[in-house]
């Protein structure tokens, strides 16, 4: 049995797990990731966590093949974390994170961004098992993507390839939205949880139609609230998800033309709202993708439990 350490590192917590090469999580531990602005102190506490987990699970460090880390702004090339505004110790600098953690633990360490880690986990343990060409789209706070071509994640010249959430779409209402990346009308400004929440707020403020979204303070409206109101039958809320699905379908057709994937796999918190956006997504995908491109990719949802997927994906980095 081979073991790996998988770490899902986010703005507030770091979830560290020992996983097996069959995709089982032996044990895991959570620590806060935002209590210091010194990356060395944080890496030391991560290293202590790994030592404690191994001891508790009675697993010899020698049988661990490596540490894989999924982290926002993580660059596989060089194992760096670059200008990660959401990490208290990672702002405004480039940190050789993989090297530092490897030196501190004595175990090989690789890292990549969180969306790429999700794609690797899907390929190793999820619905993309056995596929050599697929795209994993993570619908969360943003829209992340991992693109696997010919069995390998694509990284491009600088490690940043496949950022499909930052492809632009035609704004549905003719007004544009500025993205965190500085461009206008990126897919994620409409189709992420943040984008759907913004659509909800704008509708609550501006629409002349009747909507239960007007019962909320606009700043309190989240993607979840829009979903709940849609479920209760609010037409305006339903239309927000329908529109997000339409834009996703249009974008998926573009991705399919470029990459010829066997499947596009949807993952992330927003996937829970699929009954509200999937019909329009499928419809718009069908209208925009023609059989001239021959292979019609399947549109699938991740089969990995969300809480485990990030650890499994990160660990996959060193297991593949």
Among left, alpha and beta (phi > 0; psi -120 to 50; other), residue 184 is beta
C-beta of 135: minimal distance to Zn ion in Å? 17
Q: Find where tokens 């191994």 sit.
A: 54
C-beta of 312: minimal distance to Zn ion in Å? 27
Residue among 183 and 272 whose Cβ is closer to Zn ion: 183
Residue among 169 and 253 whose Cβ is closer to Zn ion: 169
Residue among 181 and 231 whose Cβ is closer to Zn ion: 181
Alpha carbon distances (Å) from 293 to 218, 227, 261, 296: 43, 34, 11, 8
C-beta of 164: minimal distance to Zn ion in Å? 10
d(CA 29, CA 292): 49
Which residues here bind Zn ion, judged by CB under 5 A? 166, 179, 181, 183, 186
d(CA 191, CA 168): 11
Sheet holding 263-267, edge to edge: 152-153, 143-149, 134-139, 263-267, 298-301
Residue among 145 and 309 whose Cβ is closer to Zn ion: 145
Whether the CB-CB separation of 319 and 25 falls below 8 Å is answered with no
C-beta of 168: minimal distance to Zn ion in Å? 8
Whether the CB-CB separation of 320 and 128 falls below 8 Å is answered with no
Residue among 186 and 225 whose Cβ is closer to Zn ion: 186
Kindly state the DSSP code that residue 259 receives in the 8-state scheme.
Answer: H
Q: Find where tokens 């050789």 sit.
A: 96
How far from chain centre, in Å, is Cα 177? 21
Kindly state the DSSP code that residue 37 receives in the 8-state scheme.
Answer: S
C-beta of 159: minimal distance to Zn ion in Å? 17
Residue among 175 and 208 whose Cβ is closer to Zn ion: 175
In 3-state terms, the chain is what percent helix, strand and coil (to 5)?
Answer: 45, 20, 35
C-beta of 162: minimal distance to Zn ion in Å? 13
- The CA R_g of the chain, rounded to the nearest whole Å, is 20
Residue among 142 and 200 whose Cβ is closer to Zn ion: 142
C-beta of 176: minimal distance to Zn ion in Å? 12
């Amino acid at each position: 049995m081979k073991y790996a350490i998988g770490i899902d590192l986010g703005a507030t917590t770091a979830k560290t797990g020992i996983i097996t090469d069959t995709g089982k999580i032996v044990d895991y531990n959570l620590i806060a990731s935002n209590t210091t602005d010194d990356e060395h102190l944080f890496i030391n506490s991560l290293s202590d966590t790994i030592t404690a987990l191994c001891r508790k699970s009675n697993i010899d460090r020698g049988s661990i093949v490596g540490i894989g880390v999924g982290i926002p702004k993580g660059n596989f090339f060089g194992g760096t974390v670059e200008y990660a505004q959401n990490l208290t110790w990672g702002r405004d600098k480039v940190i050789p994170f993989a090297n530092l953690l490897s030196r501190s633990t004595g175990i090989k360490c690789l890292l990549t961004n969180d969306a790429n880690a999700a794609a690797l986990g899907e390929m190793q343990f999820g619905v993309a098992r056995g596929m050599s060409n697929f795209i994993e789209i993570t619908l969360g706070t943003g829209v992340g993507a991992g693109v696997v071509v010919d069995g390998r994640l694509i990284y491009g010249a600088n490690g940043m390839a496949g950022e499909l959430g930052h492809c632009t779409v035609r704004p549905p209402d003719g007004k544009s939205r500025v993205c965190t990346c500085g461009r206008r009308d990126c897919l994620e400004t409409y189709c992420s949880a943040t984008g759907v929440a913004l659509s909800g707020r704008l509708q609550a403020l501006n629409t002349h139609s009747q909507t239960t979204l007007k019962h909320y303070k606009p700043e309190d409206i989240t993607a979840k609230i829009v979903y709940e109101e849609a479920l209760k039958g609010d037409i305006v809320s339903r239309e927000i998800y329908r529109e997000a699905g339409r834009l996703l379908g249009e974008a998926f057709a573009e991705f399919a033309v470029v990459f010829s994937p066997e499947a596009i796999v949807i993952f992330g918190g927003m996937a829970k709202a699929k009954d509200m956006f999937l019909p329009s997504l499928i419809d718009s995908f069908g209208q925009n993708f023609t059989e001239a491109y021959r292979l019609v990719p399947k549109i699938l949802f991740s089969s990995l439990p969300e809480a485990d997927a990030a650890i499994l994906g990160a660990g996959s980095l060193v297991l593949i």
